[in-house]
Every structure is written in structure tokens, then in C-alpha cells.
Structure 1
Amino acid sequence: MIKFFRRIRQNLLVESNNSKYFKYAIGEIVLVVIGILIALQINNWNENRKSNQFQTKILKEIKTSIQLDLERNQSILEERILPKRKGIENLIKNMHSNEKAHDSIIRKNFNDASTGILFTYDKGAYESLKAIGLDKITNDSLRNRLIRFYENWLPRGKELIREYNETYSQRIKLREKVLELSYVNGKTWYVRARLNTKDLKSNKDLLKLLDIEGDIYWNNYRVIVPIIKEAKDIISLIDKTI
């Protein structure tokens, strides 16, 4: 192709036809520019295709992480946080009831009321995205939601739960007052700590402890429930984007 154009230029120069030569030169320049534009367009198309492929891949990984965390948090809510509230309510009823419930029921309520949680989350996929560039996510709303979720909601929620669990040092002292210890011989000797069910109505230490456990329940609930909702919303946004 280059030889073909060179031959045309040489023939025009030999003919000394300046008008035709200039027209040809302009045409050649136009063809070169068109070729460059086409090459740039193809390159941009390839880059966009690679970027879209990366966005789809990383969003699928983030979605998987969020789904696993969501399942864990829903399990924490249903199996630990809500039973904790129920245990507190039932134990208070036990304490104020004229008919005393069986010791095993009272202790079951106490164990539920004493339940704690460990809040964790996986941010590996998000950190991979952040290292390459958050601007790879073309959906502005989704990008901003991911940033808030991983940079604010999750770390703040984890810190709130940790602070509440560590702040109530009085909780440990009260538990020591309401529990009875006994040595039990199984395969080996061990210490069993159970709620002392005697004189429940007059056990002010137990009421103070339940008040603290109620605060812990409410803190855990107000952290987990919004995170569950936000996780579901983000998953829906990811599905719409990919």
C-alpha cells in the first residue's frame, strides 16, 4: 500500500502537475488522519471492553463477599441478638411472676440474655478494587455506596460493638455476684458457672446486669440491622450494574 502511494506521488511529480499533486497530498493526509482515528477508536474500544470486563469481575467478587457477610449477619441477628432480647424479657418476667419457672428454663433465659456477638467482615475484594482504582466502577451511585459501606459503616459498626463489649466492666463484676460455681467431674474436673436461681425477686444485682445486657442488645441491634439493609441494597445495585 505504501509503495502504491509512493508511485502515485512520483508520477505526479514527473508530470509537474502541482494542482493534482496538492490534491493528492491532501487526500493522503486525510486518509492518514482517518486511519489514526480508526486506530484510536479501536484502541478505546479495547480499553473499554477490558475495563468493563474488570468491573464485572471485581463487582462479582465484591457481591460474593457482601453476600457471605450478609448471611453471617442475618444469622447473628436471628440466632444471637433477637434471642438475647427474648431472654432478657423472659427472665424479667420470671423474676416478677408469682409462679416460679423451672430452674432449667430460668437458666436458659439467662444464657440467652448473656449472649454476645463477634462482628467481622471481608473487605479483600474491595481493597483490590481500591488498589487498582475506584473509578473503575462506572456507576457513581454504586461507587459511593461501596466507599461509605467499607470505609464508614462496617468499621464504625465493628468499633461500636467492641466499645460496648469492653465499656461495661461492671458487667463482669455483676456476673460474679449472680453466678454460682461448682466443680463437676466429667472426663476431667471442671468448674461450672450457673445462674443462682434462689431469691430471684430480690436479686438487684441480676436486674442491674439485665439492664446492661439490654443496652448491649440495643447497640448490637442498631448496628447490625442497618448494615443488613445496606448490604441488600448494594447487592441490588451491583446486579443492575453488571
Structure 2
Amino acid sequence: MNITGRIHSVESCGTVDGPGVRFVVFMQGCPLRCQFCHNPDTWDTNKGTIYTADQLMSEIIKYKSYMLFSGGGVTFTGGEPLLQADFILEMSRRCKEEGISVAVDTSGYVFSDTVEKVLESTDLVLLDIKNYDPEVYSKVTGVELAPTLKFLDHTRDKETAVWLRYVLVPGLTDNIESIRGLAEHLKAYPNISRIDILPFHKMGEYKWKALGYEYKLYDTKEPDKKLVEEVKGIFRISGIPVAN
């Protein structure tokens, strides 16, 4: 089957989207509208470049030796890759045939029978939880929190390996009591092997301007080291491994 997918861009030697050297595929389209998104140019489902599975696989295979040597693999991110679950499923199958590990970076908002099949062929889920307070989550993303928590439950039931990601934005996602609530909630998920606390940055601000979108965090500063360490400490006390 030579199914097609819409792709924003690819990165041949990524090192931050999973273990080892990664071939990172940024899929086009996303149902969330996160205030701190640094890739708002991936939102529109009608943009991007159409790739066939053959075309993308021919690019991936060029870096197979680097991925295998480093314990890396392919990461599908976005945007929201699971909006194109059929394509991700086909690519995952092809990667597995080549012995290449697969990771999916997702908000956990999209779920379907096809997504369930994708997770069965995925070695690692990078799950982005934007906040644990439902009202704040909705304010930050424009969608509800509940689907993401259900998605997390599914990964636990299927024993899918998860790395959690939390973007720390002063004045927006630094609500400490909510963070403590999230840390307590995550104690029930032995499949979570790591959490990354990602300090807010403005590297994508210029994209908002170029696209004519209202950027609400213009005056927001990056979190200081003290706040970052406080949040990391909350998760460590709960027994959750925190990336340095």
C-alpha cells in the first residue's frame, strides 16, 4: 500500500525527540491551538507536502545506520501526527520491517481504532500534557483535557512506554497546586519512565507574526531556574524520573 500523508518538514538527525539519533517527521495538521506553540505553521491540515509512504521511507532508510548505532529511530511529531493515523500506521509497519524503532509525539487528544493499532506498533509515546487543571488546559489549548487522560489510561492498560512532556510557562502553566495534582495522578502509571520539563521559549514567535495570528505570550518571560527546579522537585518527590 502506497498511502500518502501531508508532511510539514523532516529533520534527519534529531536528538531531543526520543532516545538516540532520530529521523523526525513533522506531520501537518493539529486540532489544538496551544498559546505557546512554536510550530503554528503545522496547524492547517491543508498545507504541507504530500509524501507517499515509499517516498518517506526512501529518506528514512538513508539514516538507518545512524539510528541503529545510537539506539535511536524515527519520531512522528507535528502538529498532531495521529490526525493522519492511517499514514503513521503504514510508516510504523515499514520501519519495523527494517528494525527501526518508532516513537510518536502526541497530545493524546485524537483516538480511534486506527490510533489503537498505531500504538500497538509504537515503541515509545511522547505524551504532551499541557496542564492538569481542566480550565487551564482548555485556556491553553482550546480543547478539553479528558481525552488526553483517557489516552494515558490506554497506554497504561497496553503497557506502552511513555515519556511525558510538560511545557512550563510563567503565568500560564506554572500553577503549582495543579502540578502537584498531576504528579500525584501519575503515580498510578508504571509505564511512564520519564518526564521532561520544557521551559517556555519564544523561538516560534516570529511564525505567529508571519501567519497573522495573535500571540498572547509576547510579554511572557522564560521561567527562571528556581521555578524549573521547583517543578522538577515535585515530580521527583512523587517518584517519577525527571530528565536533567
Q: TM-score range by the shorter chain?
A: under 0.3
Which structure carries more relative contact order (alpha carbon 8 Å, separation 6+)? 1
So what's the TM-score if we normalise by structure 2?
A: 0.18
Choose between structure 1 and 2: higher strand proportion. Answer: 2
TM, length-normalised to structure 1:
0.18
> By percentage of residues, which structure has more helix?
1
Whose radius of gyration is greater, 1 or 2? 1
